Amino acid sequence: MTEEDIQPLIIDASTLIDFIEADPEILTIAGNCFGGIHVSGPVLADELNRFDTADCDRYGITVTDGTTQQIMEAQSLEGALFLYDWHGIILARDNGWTLLTNDGAQRREALASGIPVIRGFGLLVTLVQEQTLETERARRTGALIRQANTWITQDVLEEFTRLLDELTEN
């Protein structure tokens, strides 16, 4: 990872849930590696009933509400995304952040807008590459995420494991 690659992250609801359920301390590690991790205030308030601002403080996550104008822009957009997905894209765009999401539609919209995107397993691989996360912990976390999130297929987990294997061989 180069200096230019290190941008704060904004995480979407489903990816945040994945890490909360698997190993929430990885969020702290990621925030330290990438210069911060943010979550949209509306996502935290409306989507996550088992994670609150005290949890955000514990794991070093900054709650970002954005402006009224950003929320109005998100409300005006149409397509396959929900309001919170658009809001995350807008916050990433306006703040120069990388979007951390496993949502395919949100990923496509962000990339089409020139916003850098990383997936949850991609984050784990990057943290291993940067030697801020042990390979076995990344493997365990990936397996727990796959077990809890049926949207992540066995093929995706196997590709993730292959990438980790390549890192340990080099």
CA 43 → CA 18, 24, 53, 115, distances in Å? 14, 17, 12, 19
**What is the block-wise mean pLDDT of the chain (170 residues), using blocks of 10 residues?**
70 93 96 95 79 90 94 91 94 97 95 96 96 97 95 94 90
**Structural domain of 21:** 3-119
Q: What is the pLDDT of residue 79?
A: 84
Decide if 159 is inside a domain.
no
Residue 53 tokens, joined? 């601002």
Q: What is the pLDDT of residue 80?
A: 86
Q: CA 67, CA 162: separation in Å to the nearest integer? A: 42
Q: Identify the CATH number of the domain in which residue 107 sits.
A: 3.40.50.1010
Q: What is the pLDDT of residue 148?
A: 92
Burial class (CB in 10 A: 0-12, 13-18, 19+), 141: buried
Q: What is the pLDDT of residue 3?
A: 42
Query: Helix, strand or coil for residue 69?
Result: helix
Helix or strand holding residue 74 (H, E): helix 68-76
Decide if 45 is inside a domain.
yes
